[in-house]
Amino acid sequence: MNPDLIRVVLLCLCWPVVLLRVAAVRVADQRLLWFTLVMQGLGLTVLQTPVMLGIQRTTGVPRIESLISSLLASVVAVLLLMVALRISSSDTVSARWSRRMALYCGATAVVMVTTFTVVTVRHIPTRDRFLPVIGEFSAHTVYWIAYLTYMIVVSVWTTSLFWRQIRRVAAKVLKFALLALALGTTTFLVFLGTRVASLFSASPQLPAFGVYVSSIYSISVTVGCSLAIILPLSQGVASWWRRNRLYPLWRALCDASPHIALTPPRSRWRDALTLRDNRHQLHRRLVEIRDGLLIMREWITPATHDRIVAALAAERLPNRDAAVTACWVRVALRVRANGVERVAKPIDLAGQGGVDTETELCWLTAVAKSWTSPVVARCAAMIDVKAPELTS
């Protein structure tokens, strides 16, 4: 496992998500995750060798990239804690503790910048990875004590909150995202343990092992935040796709009963190019189709329904009930257009469906699919309904 390669891969995952979901800044539930990804991306960028060399040449300050990456890591840690507080406590408690921990982060950053400046100005010797010299207490030691204390306190709290919330989340994608974040913060505690041990040991294996552990942390945090922030976008795309699958059935019902639609139906292409509020529009379409079915059942008698069922009995259909529903709707639309009066006592043909939004969507999608079936269209055309039958 090459850490440099991992950082490049994570950069390719992190920054596209940040750019794609800039709109998340306007959404309170996603804003913290978006800023976490931004800080994570900046931290990964700083650790790229060409970037590190460029920063050193530009500033002329040795080891400045260590300070920058540590400060960015501190911000990522407090942002993750704010995310954990937001999902595990009330808004009042979350806001209060978030402000306090933000102040703690700021205070730690001041100490780190001050001690780093002292180390640089006084040319205090350091070891590899900007570790302090063993056995000497200096401003450099204070730098590491402040940084590690802050990171341990924040990471322990964040980790405990994430693990507690996993079992309370029902959505599979969100549960996986939360699991990734919990694993990430847990492995980061291991990384912090290697840094604490490195303060007292000159073993080269400790820093090297810490690099690999921190890579697992970076992967987990990047994947977890990306999944959580992309989920609303993916849900919107799925809602758009499902809404368009319902369009033929919905449009036919709206043309027959225009009052069921909140807004007049648009052409297929204009409807497909409507990309905003997809989840809301999908829900509205389900309601409008259901209203249309309740109206159109008033043109179907039990005898007509029995003939439809018999006509489709010999056909091989993936969903016979949905096909029957699509067929009687076609028949009802035709006889209504011919001016036939409605049935005095309509039968309950619109009772089938889901018990919640998801099952209702599955049912109406099956009906919409059957609506475009040539078999259903042919069967509906064969059903010859006469006015006496409907008005009897």
**341 three-state secondary structure:** coil
Q: Are residues 254 and 197 in the same domain?
A: no
Q: Are residues 202 and 298 in the same domain?
A: no
Last residue of a domain, one of 197, 222, 238: 238
172 with 139, same domain?
yes
Q: Is the distance from CB of 345 to CB of 269 less than 8 angstroms?
A: no
Nearest C-alpha neighbor of 156 from the set 83, 81, 218? 81
218 CB-side CA count, 13 A: 30
pLDDT of 371 reads: 92
Tokens describing residue 7: 């950082």
Q: Residue 392: its pLDDT value, please?
A: 42
Question: From CA 311, how far away is CA 306, in angstroms rounded?
Answer: 9
**Contact at 8 Å (CB) between 99 and 61?**
no
Query: 126 pairs with which residues across the strands?
Result: 132
Same domain, 221 and 250: no
Of 220, 238, 256, the residue at which a domain comes to its end is: 238
Query: Both 303 and 179 in a single domain?
Result: no
Cα distance between residue 241 and residue 246, in whole Å:
9
* Residue 341 confidence (pLDDT): 80
Same domain flag for 258 and 227: no
Which of 218, 238, 258 is the endpoint of a domain? Answer: 238
pLDDT, residue 385, reads 63
Helices and strands counted in the chain (H then E): 16, 0
Q: How high is the pLDDT of residue 12?
A: 85
Query: Could you report how far apart the first and last alpha carbons of the chain are, in Å?
Result: 79
Q: What does the alpha-carbon distance between residue 134 and residue 127 come to, in Å, rounded to a whole number?
A: 9
Let me know whether 234 and 251 are in one domain: no
Q: What range does the domain containing 26 cover?
A: 3-238
Q: Kindly report the number of other CB atoms within 10 A of residue 185's CB atom.
A: 27
Q: What is the pLDDT of residue 318?
A: 84
What's the CA gap between 375 and 377, in Å, rounded? Answer: 5
What is the mean pLDDT, run by run of 10 residues, along the chain of 392 residues? 74 86 83 92 88 88 91 96 90 90 97 96 89 90 96 96 89 88 95 92 85 87 88 85 94 92 88 85 93 90 88 86 92 87 80 81 93 90 63 43
* Torsion (CA) 232, 237, 240, 242 in degrees, nearest 10: -100
Handedness of CA 317, 321, 327, 329 (dihedral sign): negative
Same domain, 141 and 189: yes
Express each pLDDT in 255-313 by its tens digit: 999 999 988 888 988 888 887 888 899 999 999 999 999 999 988 888 888 989 998 88
Residues 6+ apart with CB under 8 A from 302: 347
- Which pLDDT value is given to residue 388? 45
- Rounded CA separation 273/156 (Å): 47
Co-location of 265 and 188 in the same domain: no
Q: Domain count of the chain?
A: 2
Q: In the prediction, which pLDDT does 180 show?
A: 94
Q: Are residues 186 and 275 in the same domain?
A: no
Residue pair 209/194 in contact by the 8 Å Cβ criterion = yes
Q: What CATH number has the domain bearing residue 82? A: 1.20.1070
Residues 175, 227: contact at Cβ < 8 Å? no
Query: Is the Cβ–Cβ distance between 224 and 162 less than 8 Å?
Result: no
Helix (H, G, I), strand (E, B) or coil at 131: coil
Q: Which residue has the tokens 């507080």?
A: 85
Q: Quick one: 182 and 265 in the same domain?
A: no
- Tell me which residue of 142, 136, 85, 84 sits closest to 113, measured CA to CA: 142
Q: What's the pLDDT at 390?
A: 45
One domain for residues 255 and 323: yes
CA distance 370 to 318: 9
DSSP, collapsed to helix, strand or coil, labels residue 250 as: helix
